[in-house]
């Protein structure tokens, strides 16, 4: 029976982890069976190395769904990396209030775009960058070294700098069916029961048992 509560899903492989088991920050939520692979750094240091500018004062969250695949070096840039755009200067004067003898107004130093949300069954490629407040739909694929600045629709492949849609993984009818089935929300034992249908693309069998 699959066990989502272990750190290393594969014997002898310390580069791949079930990511949720390495998360300690309550503002980061990761679903069952989402895998992070890192062959450069210890993957257990994901919060430190891959979730950047994530300051508690912003109250922004990183939410990642189930059955995701996150490749080595993928980065999530959070709202603390932004700078104020409605000022005459992008310099963070309020953040360095002691030096400039002004009131401490940390949140005035940057623009807050809200939570970053990644759906289930999403594949994020090598060294891709996800910018603050982006929503990535279920089943999407983010290409290697893409910079994602805008929302990504479900089951859409995006790539480039800035990332643009390249194509849909399936036709709209199939996508609608997959979103209705939402197999990633099934209990693990049910996923295992219908694993052959999932991996072989037998969507009709899934529809009958959704």
pLDDT the model gives residue 187:
95
Binned at pLDDT 50, 70 and 90, residue 31 comes out as very high
Contacts of 162 by beta carbon, 8 Å cutoff, 6+ apart: 147, 148, 149, 150
- What mean pLDDT comes out for the span 119-127? 98
Instruction: Indicate whether 107 pLDDT > 70.
Output: no
Instruction: Indicate whether 92 pLDDT > 70.
Output: yes
Q: Which residue has the higher pLDDT, 2 or 161?
A: 161
Cβ pair 194, 183 in contact under 8 A? yes
pLDDT the model gives residue 106:
60
Domains of the chain and CATH, by start: 16-169 (2.160.10.10), 171-210 (no CATH)
Binned at pLDDT 50, 70 and 90, residue 1 comes out as confident
Taking residue 105's Cβ as centre, other Cβ atoms within 10 Å add up to: 12
Place of tokens 């791949």: 16
Q: Which residue has the higher pLDDT, 58 or 21?
A: 21
- What mean pLDDT comes out for the span 157-161? 97
CA dihedral 75, 79, 81, 83 (to 10 degrees): 150
* Residues annotated as part of the active site: 83
Instruction: Indicate whether 77 pLDDT > 70.
Output: yes
Cα–Cα distance for residue pair 17/33, rounded to 1 Å: 9
Instruction: Indicate whether 7 pLDDT > 80.
Output: yes
pTM above 0.75, yes or no: yes
DSSP 8-state assignment for residue 61: -
Q: Express each pLDDT in 178-198 by its tens digit.
A: 999 999 999 999 999 999 999
- What mean pLDDT comes out for the span 23-38? 98
DSSP 8-state assignment for residue 66: S
pLDDT the model gives residue 104:
58
Q: Express each pLDDT in 125-136 by its tens digit.
A: 999 999 999 999
pLDDT the model gives residue 130:
98
The per-residue pLDDT of the chain, averaged, comes to: 92
């Amino acid at each position: 029976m699959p066990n989502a509560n272990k750190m290393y899903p594969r014997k002898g492989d310390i580069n791949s982890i079930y990511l949720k088991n390495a998360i300690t920050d309550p503002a980061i939520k990761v679903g069952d069976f989402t895998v992070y692979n890192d062959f450069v750094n210890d993957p257990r240091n994901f919060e430190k190395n891959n979730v950047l500018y994530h300051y508690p004062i912003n109250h922004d969250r990183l939410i990642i769904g189930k059955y995701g695949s996150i490749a080595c070096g993928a980065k999530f840039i959070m709202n603390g990396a932004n700078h104020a755009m409605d000022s005459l200067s992008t310099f963070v004067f309020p953040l360095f209030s002691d030096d400039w003898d002004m009131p401490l107004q940390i949140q005035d130093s940057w623009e807050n775009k809200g939570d970053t949300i990644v759906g289930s069954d999403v594949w994020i490629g090598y060294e891709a960058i996800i910018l603050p407040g982006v929503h990535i739909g279920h089943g999407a694929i983010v290409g290697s070294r893409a910079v994602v600045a805008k929302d990504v629709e479900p089951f859409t492949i995006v790539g480039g700098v800035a990332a643009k849609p390249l194509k849909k993984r399936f036709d709209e009818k199939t996508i609608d069916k997959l979103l209705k089935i939402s197999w990633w929300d099934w209990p693990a034992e049910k996923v295992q029961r219908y694993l052959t249908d999932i991996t072989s693309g037998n969507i009709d069998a899934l529809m009958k048992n959704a």
